[in-house]
Amino acid sequence: MPIHITGQPGDYAPVVLLPGDPNRATRIAARFDGGLEASRLVSEHRGLLGYTGTVNGVPVSVQTTMMGTPTTTIVIEELLMLGVTTFIRVGTTGGFGGLGIGDAVVALSAASLSGIGGVLGGGEPTAPTADYEVVQVLVEAARAEGLVTHVGPVVTSDVFYDPHPDGVARWGRRGYLCAEMETAAVYLLAMRERAKGRPVRAGSILTVSDVIVDPSIEHQATAIGDEAWFRPPEEEVTRRVDLTIGAAMQAAAALGRAG
C-alpha cells in the first residue's frame, strides 16, 4: 500500500489530473461539481494534496506531484497501487520558437533529459509517448476552450536552471516545442503498465508560462528585448493556467465517461 499519499482503494477516481503545485490542486478541486465543499480531500501527507469529486457528473480526482520526476514517479506508482488508470499532467512549461504566453501544448512525446529515462529504460534509449486517445481528447478540449494549441514533442529536464552554454534553448532547434520537468516520467510509467496488459494511459497538457529565447536566432531575441527568457506577472500566468485547467477538466470527464 502507498506510504506517501494517504488515499485508500476507492478514494481515487480512475482518471486523475496531475498538477505539480498543491495550490493548483486545490484550485482544480474548487472547480469540481459543487465546489471545494463537495469534493473530498483524500491525501495531504507531505503536502501531496489529493481530492476526489465529479466533473459534469463524472468522477475525477486531482493529485499533486510536486516538481520533478522523482516525486512524480512516487505519486504515480502509488496511484497505480490504488487502481488509477488514466493520468493527465496539467502543468506549466517554457515554450520555444513561435509559442506565445498562454498557449497550450499537448505533448505527443517527451524526451527524457532526466535520470528517469535511464532508470526506467534500463540504461537504453527510451521514447516516452502519450496515449493517442488521451491526446485527441485533450486537443479537442483545448481548442473548444479557444486556446491556441500546439501538439508535438516536449523535453523533460531534471534542472530548471540549465548550466549548458545554450541553456535548454538548444532543444528548440531540434524541433521540440517546450521544456518542463515531469511528463517523461508520466509516460514511461504508463507505457510500462500497458506492456503488462493493464489499461493504463497518459497525456499531458501544458500552459506556456515562459518564453525561452534561443540566443542564436536574432529575431527571437529582438522580439522580447534580448532577454534569455520572458515571464509575465504571476497573476497573468495564473489566469492563463486556469484556462488550460478548464480544458483538462473537460477532457478528464470525457475520458472518464468513455471508460
What span, in angstroms and rounded, lies between the C-alpha atoms of 15 and 256? Answer: 6
Handedness of CA 258, 148, 188, 43 (dihedral sign): negative
Active site residues: 210
Top pLDDT among 161 and 31 is at 31
Residue 228 predicted with pLDDT over 90 = no
Q: In this prediction, what percent of the chain has a pLDDT beyond 70?
A: 95
Q: Do 242 and 196 meet the contact criterion of CB atoms below 8 Å apart?
A: no
Q: According to the model, what pLDDT value does residue 226 have?
A: 46
Q: How many Å apart are CA 76 and CA 16, to the nearest integer?
A: 10
0.85 surpassed by pTM: yes
Across 33-38, average pLDDT: 96
Instruction: Identify whether the C-beta of residue 179 lies closer than 8 Å to the C-beta of residue 94.
Output: yes
Q: What is the pLDDT of residues 229-252, one digit of tens each?
A: 677 888 888 888 999 999 999 999
Worst-scoring range by mean pLDDT, 64-68, 196-200, 214-218, 234-238?
214-218
Q: Report residue 48 as a C-alpha cell.
A: 501531496
The residue among 74, 68, 72 whose CA lies nearest residue 113 is: 68
Q: What is the mean pLDDT of the chain?
A: 92
